[in-house]
Chains A and B, each alone.
Chain A
Amino acid sequence: MKIGLIVRLVVLVLLVAFVVSPASFEWAFLPLTKNNQPAIYTQNTLLSLTLSHLTFVAIATVASTLVAVGLAIVVTRPFGAEFLPLSRSLANIGQTFPPVAVLALCVPILGFGAGPTLVALFLYGLLPIFENALTGLTTLPPSVNEAARGVGMTGRQRLLGVELPLATPVILAGIRLSVVISVATATIGSTVAASTLGEVIIAGLLSNNVAFVLQGGLVVGVMAVLIYDALSALERVLMARTGQRR
């Protein structure tokens, strides 16, 4: 565990160093280039691309978390119970839509750039969070709910004081999945001219420059793995706090 933490910290420091000052790593990418191609992408700074990449992911994830958890709460209340079977099958059907198609189909409505990317990330992020929130809210031990009712908690108190806290780790697992998917999907956003790290990869593909593809891919991949690990750790802490164990 300790070694794992050190490795992750080293990787994080390397990632930040590379993004802030890619030129000092030029030696590592030079052997990959041919015919005096540039080894480091300089059209836009890696730092600005990384930040805008992460901003896309953050905005989309916050929006999809709010909407997905809200929907899951509605369909698990007696008022919205009628929508439960439909919402389940919709979440199932929604997952069959490939992200590229969602992205491309948003273009006529929203134009090129940030708009379609945000919408695609939002829609694609909804499903894992919604499914997990639904699982978290519907699989609580009945005894817990009965006890809460027994001590005279109202529906609202039960939701905020018992159900949501207990479901949080599962919801967080959904958010983690959704973030990892978003980090990867955001790269495709640059096919519709959003400024994300995909720009570097696509520039590399177009000019046949492996160094570009590698540096874009590395930054995105390492970011995804680190975020995934950090959220898993957070989940374990929350699990321990609510006394659940997996």
Chain B
Amino acid sequence: MSTVAATGSPRIAVDKLGVLIALIAAVAALMPFAAFRANRIVVGISKGIFEALPLWEAVLVALALVAAILVALLRTPRLWRLFASLAMLAVLFVAIGHSASFLTPEGDRLARVSPGAGFWLAVFAFALLAADSFTRLKLAPWLRIVTLLLVAGAIALLLWSGAWNDLSILREYANRAEAFWREGQTHIALALGSLAAATVVGIPLGVVCHRVDGLRAVVLNVLNALQTIPSIALFGLLIAPLAWVAANVPGASAIGISGIGAAPAMVALFAYSLLPVVANTVVGLEGVPPAATDAARGMGMTNWQRLAKVEFPLAFPVILTGIRIVLVQNIGLATIAALIGGGGFGVFVFQGVGQTAMDLVLLGAVPTVALAFAAAVILDAIVEMVSTGARPA
């Protein structure tokens, strides 16, 4: 292993990732920081950082940018890098809100200010730095969850303080606040509901597959084939059978089953969720060391006791990994439910695409990505906690 740092020469050591981040940030500084549009669908006018902010604020942001680039470029302690990247992100986030208020003429409700390419690129550069420092710090799982909560709290604070109120995405939100929360609830209900159903059905199915040899290949192949059907098609194909059920089974329509809407979306998400849950249950149970089951058998445990007290606890981390895959996947897939009237954040995405109003697309896409990201971080942390608890290394 030869590294550059090992040469021990007195010259200042440069961090390779830092070079990449410095380059991206430098390009970002040259690109427009914000875009101004007279209304929501006309082409925007690009504004550089010195046009987008009052002079002294622009100078402050530029100085912060130079300082953050220097911290990234040189070989600095990890904590410094983490704080520098988070501080820079905070500066960018506050600045974009100020820029929106600064660029919008007083009392103008039609004008839209949205973040420009330079802003997004700069956020990307320092998010990279933050991700890298986080990965290298190897934080304990609970600390990662705490950090996530702190970041979520900071963003909530920014939203609550009204600092972003003049940004285009929040203008879109202000026009449809009620719909936003309603679709958000539907989105979460779709993702979590199908996950719960898949867990209730999938784990026992996985246990059966593990114990009955002939069944495993059949069930896994069928679920695999199901997974390859494109989501739009599956959503669409379920419309007809569910409409039939609603029309012909007494009481079905009373509990909300109908051809279009949330029911086919829920069924389709459930179908997609089964494979990871069943497959991971089987893999997890197969990974239980034979010595453990032998010992359990030797102690005179019944089949049920062995499953509940030995096999299941040992397989639990792997099963939980399957649940993590399903949850993240479902949060993404639930956006497509909007195409068949199932609701969810996809409603804004498809409306926005239809009206070529990108702020509206963002209003649907940003919460979806944030939800999926938060779910991934939290469940990864839980998986890590559970697996170190089950198998003291």
Using a CB–CB distance below 8 Å, which chain A residues touch chain B?
32, 78, 80-83, 85-86, 88-90, 92-93, 95-101, 104-105, 107-108, 180, 183-185, 187-188, 191-192, 198, 201-202, 204-205, 210, 213-214, 216-218, 220-221, 224-225, 228
Q: Determine whether B46 belongs to the interface, using a CB cutoff of 8 Å to chain A.
A: no
> Contact between B353 and A192 (Cβ–Cβ < 8 Å)?
yes
Interface contacts beyond A98-B331, A107-B361: sample of 12 additional A-B pairs, CB < 8 Å, sorted by A:
A86-B135, A89-B132, A93-B376, A96-B376, A98-B332, A100-B332, A101-B332, A101-B368, A184-B230, A217-B230, A217-B237, A221-B225
Using a CB–CB distance below 8 Å, which chain B residues touch chain A?
1-3, 15-17, 128, 131-132, 134-136, 224-225, 227-234, 236-237, 239-240, 328, 331-333, 335-336, 339-340, 346, 349-350, 352-353, 356, 358, 361-362, 364-365, 368-369, 372-373, 375-376, 380
Residues from chain A with a CB closer than 8 A to the CB of B336 are 100, 188
> Contact between A100 and B346 (Cβ–Cβ < 8 Å)?
yes
Closest 4 CB pairs between A and B? A217-B233, A98-B332, A213-B236, A101-B365
How distant is the Cα of A77 from the Cα of B328 in the complex, in angstroms?
32
> Contact between A220 and B233 (Cβ–Cβ < 8 Å)?
yes
Instruction: Report 15 cross-chain contacts, Cβ distance below 8 Å, ordered by A residue.
Output: A90-B131, A96-B376, A101-B365, A105-B358, A187-B231, A188-B230, A191-B339, A201-B230, A202-B232, A204-B236, A205-B339, A210-B239, A213-B237, A216-B233, A228-B228
Residues from chain B with a CB closer than 8 A to the CB of A183 are 228, 230
* Other-chain residue from B224, B356, B369 in contact with A96 (beta carbon distance below 8 A): B369
> Contact between B350 and A191 (Cβ–Cβ < 8 Å)?
yes
* Other-chain residue from A78, A90, A180 in contact with B228 (beta carbon distance below 8 A): A180
Residues from chain B with a CB closer than 8 A to the CB of A204 are 236
* Other-chain residue from A95, A105, A198, A224 in contact with B229 (beta carbon distance below 8 A): A224
A174 to chain B, nearest CB (A): 16
> Contact between B131 and A89 (Cβ–Cβ < 8 Å)?
yes
> Contact between B332 and A187 (Cβ–Cβ < 8 Å)?
no
Residues from chain B with a CB closer than 8 A to the CB of A216 are 233
Residues from chain A with a CB closer than 8 A to the CB of B331 are 98
> Contact between B233 and A93 (Cβ–Cβ < 8 Å)?
no
How distant is the Cα of A220 from the Cα of B225 in the complex, in angstroms?
12
How distant is the Cα of A108 from the Cα of B3 in the complex, in angstroms?
42
B153 to chain A, nearest CB (A): 20
B13 to chain A, nearest CB (A): 12
> Contact between A97 and B350 (Cβ–Cβ < 8 Å)?
no
A193 to chain B, nearest CB (A): 9
> Contact between A89 and B229 (Cβ–Cβ < 8 Å)?
no
> Contact between B237 and A214 (Cβ–Cβ < 8 Å)?
yes
> Contact between B349 and A104 (Cβ–Cβ < 8 Å)?
yes
Minimum CB distance partner of B227 in chain A = A180
Minimum CB distance partner of A204 in chain B = B236
> Contact between A205 and B236 (Cβ–Cβ < 8 Å)?
yes
Residues from chain A with a CB closer than 8 A to the CB of B15 are 82
A239 to chain B, nearest CB (A): 19
> Contact between B128 and A86 (Cβ–Cβ < 8 Å)?
yes
* Other-chain residue from B236, B364, B373 in contact with A217 (beta carbon distance below 8 A): B236
Minimum CB distance partner of B136 in chain A = A85
* Other-chain residue from B236, B328, B335, B362 in contact with A95 (beta carbon distance below 8 A): B328
How distant is the Cα of A204 from the Cα of B339 in the complex, in angstroms?
11
Residues from chain B with a CB closer than 8 A to the CB of A85 are 132, 135-136
Minimum CB distance partner of B35 in chain A = A108
Q: Which of B128, B232, B237, B335 has the most CB of A within 10 A?
A: B232
- Contacts known (A191-B339, A191-B353); A96 close to B230, Cβ less than 8 A: no
* Other-chain residue from A99, A192, A220 in contact with B332 (beta carbon distance below 8 A): A99
How distant is the Cα of A100 from the Cα of B344 in the complex, in angstroms?
13
A166 to chain B, nearest CB (A): 21
> Contact between B240 and A210 (Cβ–Cβ < 8 Å)?
yes
B325 to chain A, nearest CB (A): 9
Residues from chain B with a CB closer than 8 A to the CB of A221 are 225, 228-230, 233
Minimum CB distance partner of A84 in chain B = B135
How distant is the Cα of A210 from the Cα of B346 in the complex, in angstroms?
22
Residues from chain B with a CB closer than 8 A to the CB of A187 are 230-233
